């Protein structure tokens, strides 16, 4: 029996992965205790997603496990042993602001629990792939030192810069920058995932995500940019723009396209790899441009307020260069650009899917 063990299985990425791996014939064991509700309130709860997975996926088994509970994690690994072929670690505390309120919990969830999962995998199923959902915040605010040019609706990189055509690659420094406490805890996890690959020879990979999104996102103000923006647009709620004139740029990757990256890696795993994972030049927008698209799709004006204080450690411009992954896995291609993503989110928010 082939087992895919997924942490954060009721979240955006975890649920997408659960559905895909079940479709491929895997038995999926999902670990998720709905900490997102604790982080962001009832509106961010993933309970409905968990119930849908249990109702629609015959091969899905849910475990109400806190990944910080090492004994509970070890019990699951011992139960399935070497039947576990892949571990997808998508559980996280994902907010800059929330991390600053409770650094110990943030580091416990993002860093310490990741170490526990790696060591438990090493002891029980060392042949399995370990796929870690990292973040582009591991680069800290280093991207903000790039030469930027202000355009009408966005900040843009100087066209003469080496990153202009394809975006930022994995050679950018992760050192000597302001990360936010969230970025620091994810960086600690990112490095230990690499080390378990390189030191112990395990099949590990870090996917440094940009703006991972899709209709399954339980977006809130502190996390889930496009999803939360669309909720505000549909419901007529005021949307807050933080700093940079709303011209900060994000690349947007649909969770389905991300899971296809996971699938390609699983089929031909490598040791201690790192890949930037985002929409690239194919799929990106500024906050201003996202607002314009939301207003177009909803046919109504979005109420908004502007706060000149940008979020600490926030990126002014981020576009991922995914050519390293594409060179290693040439069969992978993005299916969703930003407009298609926003259209799907709009349908989900309005209850038409």
- Taking only the tens place, the pLDDT of each residue in 74-126 is 999 999 999 999 999 999 999 888 999 999 999 999 999 999 999 999 999 99
Lowest mean pLDDT across 110-114, 160-164, 212-216:
212-216
Q: Kindly state the greatest CA–CA separation across the chain.
A: 57
Contacts for 312-315: CB closer than 8 Å, 24+ residues apart: 312/96, 312/178, 312/180, 313/96, 313/137, 313/140, 313/141, 313/178, 313/179, 313/180, 313/183, 314/96, 314/141, 314/242, 314/243, 314/244, 314/248, 315/136, 315/141, 315/143, 315/144, 315/248, 315/250
- Taking only the tens place, the pLDDT of each residue in 14-30 is 999 999 999 999 999 99
Contact in structure between 32 and 113 (CB atoms under 8 Å):
no
- Taking only the tens place, the pLDDT of each residue in 65-82 is 999 999 999 999 999 999
Find, among 207, 229, 201, the residue nearest to 297 by Cα: 229
Enclosing domain of residue 343: 3-349
Instruction: Report the predicted TM-score, pTM, of the whole model to 2 decimal places.
Output: 0.96
Helix (H) or strand (E) holding 305: strand 304-307
Residue 313 has pLDDT above 80, yes or no: no
- The count of structural domains within the chain is 1
Percent of the chain with pLDDT over 70: 98
Token pair 């004006």 is at which residue? Answer: 301
For the chain, the distance separating the N- and C-terminal CA atoms, rounded to the nearest angstrom, is 33
CA distance 29 to 198: 27
For residues 343-349, average pLDDT: 95
Residue 218 has pLDDT above 80, yes or no: no
Helix (H) or strand (E) holding 18: helix 12-23
Structure tokens at 36: 């997102």
pLDDT band at 208 (very low <50, low <70, confident <90, very high): very high
- Computed over every residue of the chain, the mean pLDDT equals 95
Find, among 135, 120, 115, the residue nearest to 5 by Cα: 120
Q: So what's the pLDDT on residue 217?
A: 81
Q: So what's the pLDDT on residue 225?
A: 82
Q: How many residues does the chain have?
A: 353
Structure tokens at 73: 């994690």
Q: What Cα–Cα distance (Å) separates residue 135 from each residue in 110, 129, 208, 275, 325? A: 11, 19, 4, 10, 15
Find, among 246, 223, 236, 229, the residue nearest to 306 by Cα: 246
The residues that bridge with 242 in the sheet, in sequence order, are 307
Contact in structure between 88 and 163 (CB atoms under 8 Å):
no
Percent of the chain with pLDDT over 90: 89
* Beta-carbon count within 10 A of 240 CB: 12
Residue 189 half-sphere exposure toward CB, CA atoms < 13 A: 36
Residue 60 has pLDDT above 70, yes or no: yes
CATH number of the domain residue 302 falls in: 3.40.50.720
Q: Is 242 helix (H, G, I), strand (E, B) or coil?
A: strand
Residue 1 has pLDDT above 90, yes or no: no
Residue 353 has pLDDT above 60, yes or no: no
Q: So what's the pLDDT on residue 352?
A: 62
């Amino acid at each position: 029996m082939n087992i895919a063990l997924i942490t954060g299985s009721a979240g955006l990425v975890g649920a997408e992965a659960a559905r895909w791996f079940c479709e491929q014939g895997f038995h999926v064991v999902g670990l998720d205790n709905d900490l997102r509700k604790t982080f962001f309130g009832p509106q961010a709860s993933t309970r409905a997603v968990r119930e849908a997975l249990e109702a629609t996926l015959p091969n899905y088994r849910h475990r109400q496990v806190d990944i910080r509970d090492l004994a509970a994690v070890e019990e699951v690994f011992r139960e399935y042993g070497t039947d576990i072929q892949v571990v997808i670690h998508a559980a996280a505390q994902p907010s800059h602001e929330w991390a600053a309120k409770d650094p110990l919990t943030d580091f416990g969830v993002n860093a310490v629990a990741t170490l526990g999962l790696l060591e438990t995998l090493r002891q029980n199923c060392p042949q399995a792939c370990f796929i870690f959902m990292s973040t582009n915040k591991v680069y800290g605010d280093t991207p903000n030192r790039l030469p930027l040019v202000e355009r009408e609706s966005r900040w843009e990189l100087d066209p003469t810069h080496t990153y202009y055509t394809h975006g930022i690659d994995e050679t950018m420094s992760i050192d000597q920058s302001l990360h936010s406490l969230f970025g620091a805890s994810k960086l600690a996890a990112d490095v230990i995932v690499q080390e378990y690959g390189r030191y112990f020879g395990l099949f590990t990979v870090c996917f440094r995500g940009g703006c991972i999104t899709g209709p399954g996102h339980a977006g809130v103000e502190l996390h889930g940019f496009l999803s939360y923006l669309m909720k505000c647009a549909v419901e007529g709620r005021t949307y807050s723009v933080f700093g940079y004139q709303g011209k900060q740029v994000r690349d947007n990757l649909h969770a389905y396209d991300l899971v296809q990256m996971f699938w390609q890696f699983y089929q031909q795993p490598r040791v201690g790899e790192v890949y930037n994972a985002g929409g690239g030049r194919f799929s990106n927008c500024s906050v201003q441009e996202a607002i314009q698209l939301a207003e177009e799709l909803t046919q109504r004006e979005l109420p908004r307020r502007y706060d000149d204080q940008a979020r600490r450690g926030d990126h002014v411009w981020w576009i991922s260069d995914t050519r390293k992954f594409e060179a290693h896995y040439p069969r992978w291609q993005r299916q969703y650009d930003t407009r298609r993503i926003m259209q799907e989110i709009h349908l989900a928010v309005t209850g038409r899917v």
